[in-house]
Amino acid sequence: MTQPRTRHPRWLKVPLPAGNNFQEVRRLIEHFHLNTVCQSAHCPNIGDCWGKRTATFMILGEICTRNCRFCAVHSGVPRCVDASEPARVAEAVQKLSLRYAVITSVTRDDLPDGGASIFAATIRAIKKVAPSCSVEVLIPDFKGSEQALSTVIAANPDVLNHNIETVPSLYPIVRPQADYQRSLSILALAKQQGTITKSGLMLGLGETLDEAIAVMQDLREVNCDMLTLGQYLQPSSEHLPIDRYVTPEEFNKLKQVGMNMGFLHVEAGPLVRSSYHAASGFDSIEG
């Protein structure tokens, strides 16, 4: 059953993408036959980010083996892995002169390692051609595989991000093929291996404020370093409806709560997504 989409409040209005940088990034992505989560997930910040010559590259194809009810990425049977993709991503990073690259993927439960080896190859390829570029990876849960996680970490990403996405009570509705404790364990294992860790939470799906704060506390208990908090936006009438719009003032309060908990950096706001201002967040904890 489809759900009607509601009109967004004024603080969610963004200008239409435009400008020379935006067009150049789009041409490069098309030239190298790459996917970006900016496009696949209908990110509202595409104009802002591409205008600043940044993009979040989505590897391992554009078809996900899971069917999360908040996500605009297509689900189904993925194509074969493209072994040339890491080199093409690295060349695009070099052409864009990026100093910070974010790499994510669809979930590939069909692969023995969940695609971890392609993540690792992409990190190494970027660092080979653009050694001054920092790399953040936003990984799936790899079905909890410590071996797959170690494969990624061995390639030395600068930040390892895995989104918790929502509160435990909503997992059966929002992320039916995922597991809250498994996602926490991925972050805990990554931290134990010495990596800077990051996670993100969508608000406005029906969670209470107390539930959101409890998730933030769970993340701190596994020593998660960085946090993003943003508004859930319904990608289409086939996806979960928005329960409510969280105000900018509420996001500011939650940011302060997170900083008081001990997060090294919290990016919070209606338009915040996992990779939003990722470079400046990394700089804030490194500098």
- Give bridge partners of residue 250 from the DSSP assignment: none
Percent of the chain surpassing pLDDT 90: 61
**Residue 262 within any structural domain of the chain:** yes
Give the domain range for residue 31: 15-286
3-state percent helix, strand, coil for the chain, nearest multiple of 5: 40, 15, 45
- Give bridge partners of residue 136 from the DSSP assignment: 102, 159
User: Tokens 């086939």 label which residue?
Assistant: 238
Amino acid 15: pLDDT = 60
**Residue 4 within any structural domain of the chain:** no
137, 144 Cβ separation under 8 angstroms: no
| Reported pTM | 0.87
CA distance 131 to 127: 4
**Residue 5 within any structural domain of the chain:** no
Q: For the beta carbon of residue 274, count every other beta carbon within 10 angstroms.
A: 24
**Residue 7 within any structural domain of the chain:** no
pLDDT in tens, 14-47: 665 556 767 777 777 777 777 765 554 556 656 5
**Residue 239 within any structural domain of the chain:** yes
Q: What is the mean pLDDT of the chain?
A: 87
Amino acid 276: pLDDT = 80
pLDDT in tens, 228-279: 999 998 877 778 899 999 999 999 999 999 999 999 999 999 989 888 888 8
Output the CA angle 184-206-173, nearest 5 degrees. Answer: 60
**Residue 136 within any structural domain of the chain:** yes
Give the E-state strand segments of the chain in sequence order. 35-36, 56-59, 63-64, 74-75, 100-105, 134-138, 159-161, 197-203, 226-231, 265-268
158, 134 Cβ separation under 8 angstroms: yes
CA distance 33 to 23: 15
**Residue 171 within any structural domain of the chain:** yes
pLDDT in tens, 172-187: 999 999 999 999 999 9
Amino acid 239: pLDDT = 83
* Domains held by the chain: number: 1
Given pLDDT bands bounded at 50, 70 and 90, which one contains residue 227?
Answer: very high
**Residue 8 within any structural domain of the chain:** no
Q: What is the CATH number of the domain that holds 88?
A: 3.20.20.70
